[in-house]
Amino acid sequence: MPKPFSPKVVTANALLEGDVVYLTAGDEWTRHLHEAELLQDEAQASQRLLDAEMRPLEVVGPYLADARASDAGPRPVHFREEFRAAGPSNYNHGKQEEHA
Please give the pLDDT value at position 96. Answer: 60
Residue 2 falls inside a structural domain: no
Domain region containing 69: 8-99
Residue 85 falls inside a structural domain: yes
Please give the pLDDT value at position 89. Answer: 63
* Least trusted range by pLDDT, from 2-6, 12-16, 73-77: 2-6
Residue 41 falls inside a structural domain: yes
Q: Which long-range contacts (CB under 8 A, 24 or more apart) does 79-84 make?
A: 81/11, 81/33, 84/11, 84/20
Residue 33 falls inside a structural domain: yes
**3-class secondary-structure state, position 22:** strand
6-41: per-residue pLDDT in tens?
999 999 999 998 899 999 999 999 999 999 999 999
Got the DSSP string for 59-92? Answer: EEEEEEEEEE--TTS-EESSHHHHHHHH--SSSS
More confident residue, 64 or 1: 64
30-39: burial string, b at 16+ Cβ within 10 Å, e else:
ebebebbbbb
Tell me how far apart the alpha carbons of residues 9 and 48 are, in angstroms, rounded to a whole number: 9
Residue 1 falls inside a structural domain: no
More confident residue, 39 or 86: 39
Q: Into how many domains does the chain fold?
A: 1
Please give the pLDDT value at position 5. Answer: 93
Residue 3 falls inside a structural domain: no
